[in-house]
């Protein structure tokens, strides 16, 4: 059985281009105010007990209850681990409010916090043993910490009309695979046949990814080149720029995350949504 890209109904009208009509700033301001407690959160289902060390769930509970996570609202963690974000993607107003909160965060402070968490999660006093065993939940947290900078920059890109490129991608019903590229920084490969909308948003996003992919400690360094080739096939030669040949490194040690495919990721999200729905 082939997994079909989900197409959720929303209250937004669909333009002739197949993209949901953007919600105006006025419409958002007159909508019911959404406090930070109502915005999506990462790991909002049960943590379960699939941990090797008891220190690991303690680490999760501690960082999930920290105000830093609420203040930063990292898209890099929401994408794979949040059932509430999966639902927010079907609401243009709530999605815009979520991105507004994420993009208005203090980038310098949040980047430092995510880098610190990426280092701490590797300690044996936290989740080191589970990370070495590639516990999926721990790997998702680790890659989410590492990908914060890249997905902050890409997730906060806007088009010429001031609409978030990410919102355009998830609401593009004529090119429903457009949002798949945002999973690349998390080590999720593009599935075969991906054909995103070939526009300025995609081009600018791939430029951000190409720069980040030059850092070989990031998961993106492993899957950018194949994704760029796929996008060049769909959008034309040199649409996605090549990665710089000089590889950069940083203090974070690299963990080779399992080569998740987006099909498996979407299927997992659908199952989780069914179980908690």
- Please state, in angstroms and rounded to a whole number, the distance separating the CA atoms of residues 204 and 244: 16
Contact 45, 84 (CB under 8 A): no
- Please state, in angstroms and rounded to a whole number, the distance separating the CA atoms of residues 74 and 145: 9
Give residue 36's pLDDT: 54
Taking Cα atoms as reference points, which of 160, 179, 183 lies closest to residue 168?
A: 179
**Residues 123-129: contacts with CB under 8 Å, at least 24 apart:** 124/53, 124/55, 125/55, 126/55, 126/56, 126/59, 127/51, 127/53, 127/55, 127/56, 127/59, 127/60, 128/53, 129/52, 129/53, 129/56
Give residue 238's pLDDT: 84
Give residue 38's pLDDT: 87
Contact 82, 89 (CB under 8 A): no
Give residue 248's pLDDT: 41
Q: Tokens in use for 88?
A: 């927010």
Contact 157, 165 (CB under 8 A): yes
Q: Tokens in use for 219?
A: 């998961």
Give residue 261's pLDDT: 44
Averaged over successive runs of 10 residues, the pLDDT of the chain (277 residues) comes to: 34 41 39 60 88 94 93 97 94 95 97 97 96 96 98 97 96 93 96 93 96 94 93 90 54 39 43 39
pTM for this structure?
Answer: 0.78
* Beta-bridge partner residues of 14: 20
């Amino acid at each position: 059985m082939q997994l079909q890209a989900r197409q959720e109904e929303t209250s937004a009208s669909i333009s002739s281009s197949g993209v949901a009509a953007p919600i105006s700033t006025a419409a958002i301001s007159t909508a019911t105010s959404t406090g930070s407690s109502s915005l999506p959160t990462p790991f909002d289902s049960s943590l379960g007990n699939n941990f090797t060390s008891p220190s690991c769930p303690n680490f999760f509970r501690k960082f999930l209850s920290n105000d830093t996570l609420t203040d930063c609202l990292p898209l890099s963690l929401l994408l794979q681990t949040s059932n509430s974000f999966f639902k927010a993607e079907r609401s243009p107003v709530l999605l815009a409010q979520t991105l507004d909160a994420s993009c208005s965060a203090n980038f310098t402070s949040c980047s430092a916090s995510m880098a610190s968490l990426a280092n701490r999660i590797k300690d044996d006093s936290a989740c080191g043993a589970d990370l070495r065993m590639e516990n999926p939940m721990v790997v998702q947290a680790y890659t989410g910490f590492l990908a914060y900078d890249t997905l902050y920059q890409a997730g906060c890109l806007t088009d010429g009309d001031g609409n978030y490129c990410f919102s355009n991608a998830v609401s593009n019903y004529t090119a429903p695979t457009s949002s798949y590229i945002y999973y690349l920084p998390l080590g999720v490969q593009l599935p075969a046949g991906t054909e995103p909308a070939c526009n300025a948003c995609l081009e600018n996003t791939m430029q951000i990814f190409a720069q980040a992919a030059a850092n070989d400690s990031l998961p993106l360094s492993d899957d950018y080149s194949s994704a760029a080739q796929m996008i060049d096939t769909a959008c034309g030669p040199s649409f996605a720029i090549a990665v710089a040949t000089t590889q950069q490194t940083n203090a974070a040690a690299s963990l080779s995350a399992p080569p998740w495919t987006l099909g498996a990721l979407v299927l997992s999200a659908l199952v989780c949504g069914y179980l908690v729905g």
